[in-house]
Chains A and B, each alone.
Chain A
Amino acid sequence: MSAEDVLFDMLHAEIVSYMVSKESETEDEDLSVLEHLGYSCGWRLIERITKELSRYKEELEILKFICTDFWSCVYKKQVDNLRTNHQGVYVLQDNEFRFFSKLSNGTQYLKAAPKYATFTCGLIRGALENFGIASIVTVEINTMPSCKFHINVQQSS
């Protein structure tokens, strides 16, 4: 792992602990601020990494792009598994999620885990938003370091 990756990891961890203090009573609000940080990062990032790509049309293709190019840009690896019900629900599974890989390989720290995935939820939502896809992204963690992101696309009717 290069020095700049470590810097990103450390900065991310500090932002998380700054945003979500342990005794905080407003944890939901804190998390939503953190999610918004991710949202604007994702929104801007997608602008930068798609500048040389042709326009995507299909929703699925865009999701595939998120799983491959976008994920390797941020996390230096691809998403391990992408599943969909073809009705606007997608599940992205990363079996070795970067922010969990040093934390635990079981259920220790499970209570603290969601706050380390919130930024990424925002990142995905922001990226999709800039493609014109409004969505809700939630996270499911059972056994670390694996992590599942549920994407619920809001139908624009």
Chain B
Amino acid sequence: MSIHNIYIFDRMGTLLYYMDWNRQKNSGMSKEEEAKLMYGMLFSIKSFVAKISPHDPKRGFLCYKTNKYALHYYESLTGIKFVLNTNTSVKNVRDLLQQLYKDIYVEYVVKNTECEMGQPIVSELFKVKLDQFIKQQVKTLQ
């Protein structure tokens, strides 16, 4: 399995964090612009999914897939959004994202009082732990 990249947005749509592992193709625009575009699309999909759903949507938008990659979406109750791009064959990414939120984001961002809420994350420790976490997941799921 391979994990391409991750975006973390807060409730207001601010890009809190971006990291990539193996991304071969660039979008040809700045990170900020790309993040805005990404957030806009997610926002649209979310409301589209909620409107078009024949039943109560409950968990709403979960993921989409192309023939090259899959985008997985996880939103916490507080509105923190995790977006993970992987190859198409990866399973149980929802659990992975939930664990990432619980063990990495809450531990090293929320509990780090030097990190200001709603601002991009600059903590080195968070970066290291996130990288470790993803690499470990890649290893165990292979």
Contact = CB atoms under 8 A, between A and B. Distances in A.
Interface of A: 6, 9-10, 13-14, 16-17, 102-106, 108-109, 112
B119 interface: no
A112 B111 contact: no
Contact of B125 (A16, A17, A104): A104
Contacts of B111: 6, 9-10, 102
B105 to A, nearest CB: 12
B128 A103 contact: no
Interface of B: 107-108, 111-114, 123-125, 128
A35 to B, nearest CB: 19
A106 B124 CA distance: 8
B107 A102 contact: yes
B112 A108 contact: no
B125 A108 contact: yes
Contacts of A13: 113
**Most chain A CB inside 10 Å of its own CB: which residue of B108, B112, B113, B114:** B113
Contacts of B124: 104-106, 108
Contacts of A10: 111
Contacts of B128: 105
A20 B120 CA distance: 23
B117 to A, nearest CB: 13
B112 to A, nearest CB: 5
Given A102-B107, A102-B108, A105-B128, A17 B113 contact: yes
A94 to B, nearest CB: 17
Given A104-B125, A105-B125, A106-B124, 12 more contacts: A9-B111, A10-B111, A17-B113, A103-B123, A104-B124, A105-B124, A105-B128, A106-B125, A108-B124, A108-B125, A109-B123, A112-B114
Contacts of A9: 111
Contacts of B113: 13-14, 16-17
Contacts of B123: 103-104, 108-109
A80 B65 CA distance: 51
**Most chain A CB inside 10 Å of its own CB: which residue of B107, B123, B125:** B125
